[in-house]
Amino acid sequence: MAMATPTPPSASCCLVGPVPFTDVVGGEEDDRITPPECGHIISTLPTIAFNGRFVHHQYQGAWVIHERMPGVLSFQRRFTPRPGDVLLASPPKCGTTWLKAMSFAIMARAAYPPSAADHPLRRLNPHECVPFIDDLFSAGHDTKLEALPSPRLMNTHMQHSLLPASVADNPNAKIVYICREPKDMLVSMWHFGNTIHPCEFSDLFQSVCDGKTTDGPMWDHVLGYWKASKASPERVLFLRYEEMLLIPVDNVIKLAQFLGVPFSAADEPARLPADIMKLCSIETMKGLEANKTGTSGLFYKFPHEANFRKGVIGDWVNHMTPEMAQRLDAIVEDKLLGSGLSFGS
């Protein structure tokens, strides 16, 4: 199906980005055609099937779900960067939706004050505001990115090793990465996946321990961005989900500073950072109609409400035996050894 050239709404012509992606380009369509060269590469890769349904390919050390494999290859070959681009990155179920909401609210606050009744985050799910490039490139819809005003705000679950040099080594682009304590990540992943295809918790646990999960191994995902943040802290910001929960306003201020849109001396006494955090809190997000209905995802339709389950620290104790927890902790500790990164207490 031919795709019409997207035209930004007239209201956006006078705005500096980011603006809600859905407002500019409309909804999602799956009319992808895999280029022949991509099909050949994919056919040569090691392949596994999780839970009898989800086929993954191992590419450059990472496990990529089949539907997004063409997108990884296309992104590496075709992405055209712009000065000011911001890429939000994370493993699945580590605060992606929250980071999207916060980053959008921070960067777009001049056009969309957080207290405004018509703020985009009050009528749209965060995934409708910030495009997921893994799906866009997989469906051949990457040209939609050209319709967005700069600075563009995008997100990915790709490992750092899969990013093209035009992103990973670009001095004019920034990456914000968020990760989460592995046991809580696993539990959140299990609940989320069960909304479309139930599986046994023990099966997912074993896959995580084996490093064979979507965009895994998890430790390689975290280490890639951790090392990048240490090598280039001015370009890569490494965040922890738990710290964001414990000191949220401080982290909003930190995020704004990194993104090049720091709060003014008057903003903090006026509680602007606190207003942004309140707007983006799980309590507020869960109560909005846009997050109670509808779905997100191009190839797999996940309910919007599945993105706002609990958002707490330590829920893993309700799902794992002490032996399971000790096993996963030991694996992760061994994989991170010598990196300076730890998830220990």
Question: Taking the mean position of all CA atoms in its chain, how far away is CA 215?
Answer: 12
Mean pLDDT for all residues in the chain: 88
Q: Identify the residue with better confidence: 308 or 112.
A: 112
pLDDT mean over 149-171: 96
Count how many residues are written for the chain.
Answer: 345
pLDDT band at 322 (very low <50, low <70, confident <90, very high): very high
Asked, for residue 186, whether it belongs to a domain, the answer is yes
Kindly report the number of other CB atoms within 10 A of residue 254's CB atom: 17
What's the pLDDT tens digit per position in 61-80? Answer: 999 999 999 999 999 999 99
Asked, for residue 26, whether it belongs to a domain, the answer is no
* Residue 147 DSSP label: G
Where do runs of H (alpha helix) occur along 152-261? 165-168, 182-193, 201-210, 218-231, 241-246, 248-258
pLDDT band at 209 (very low <50, low <70, confident <90, very high): very high
Interior/surface letters 27-41, b for 16+ CB within 10 angstroms, e for the rest: ebeeebebeeebeeb
Asked, for residue 316, whether it belongs to a domain, the answer is yes
- What phi and psi values does residue 10 have, to the nearest 5 degrees? -60, -30
Model pLDDT, residue 3: 38
- Among 56-65, 183-192, 195-204, which is the least confidently predicted range? 195-204
Our separate counts of H helices and E strands in the chain read 17, 9
Model pLDDT, residue 1: 35
Note down the domain range covering 115: 81-336
Is 157 annotated as catalytic?
yes
For the chain, the domain total comes to 1
pLDDT mean over 93-106: 94
Query: Angle at CA 70, nearest 5°, toward 5 and 7?
Result: 10
Beta bridge partners of 236: 175
Model pLDDT, residue 29: 61
pLDDT band at 290 (very low <50, low <70, confident <90, very high): confident
d(CA 120, CA 97): 14
Asked, for residue 63, whether it belongs to a domain, the answer is no
Asked, for residue 189, whether it belongs to a domain, the answer is yes
Q: Identify the residue with better confidence: 50 or 113.
A: 113
pLDDT surpassing 80 at residue 132: yes
Q: Identify the residue with better confidence: 323 or 298.
A: 323
Percent of the chain with pLDDT over 70: 89
* Residue 4 DSSP label: P
pLDDT surpassing 80 at residue 135: yes
Asked, for residue 45, whether it belongs to a domain, the answer is no
d(CA 175, CA 104): 14
What's the pLDDT tens digit per position in 4-23? Answer: 333 333 333 345 779 999 99
Asked, for residue 159, whether it belongs to a domain, the answer is yes
d(CA 272, CA 270): 6
Model pLDDT, residue 88: 98
Domain of residue 217, CATH code: 3.40.50.300
Asked, for residue 2, whether it belongs to a domain, the answer is no
d(CA 129, CA 146): 15
Q: Strand, helix or coil at 88?
A: strand
What's the pLDDT tens digit per position in 224-273? Answer: 999 999 999 999 999 999 999 999 999 999 999 999 999 999 998 889 99
| Cβ proximity of 75 and 133 under 8 Å | yes
Q: Which of 157, 160, 221, 304 is catalytic?
A: 157
pTM of the model: 0.91
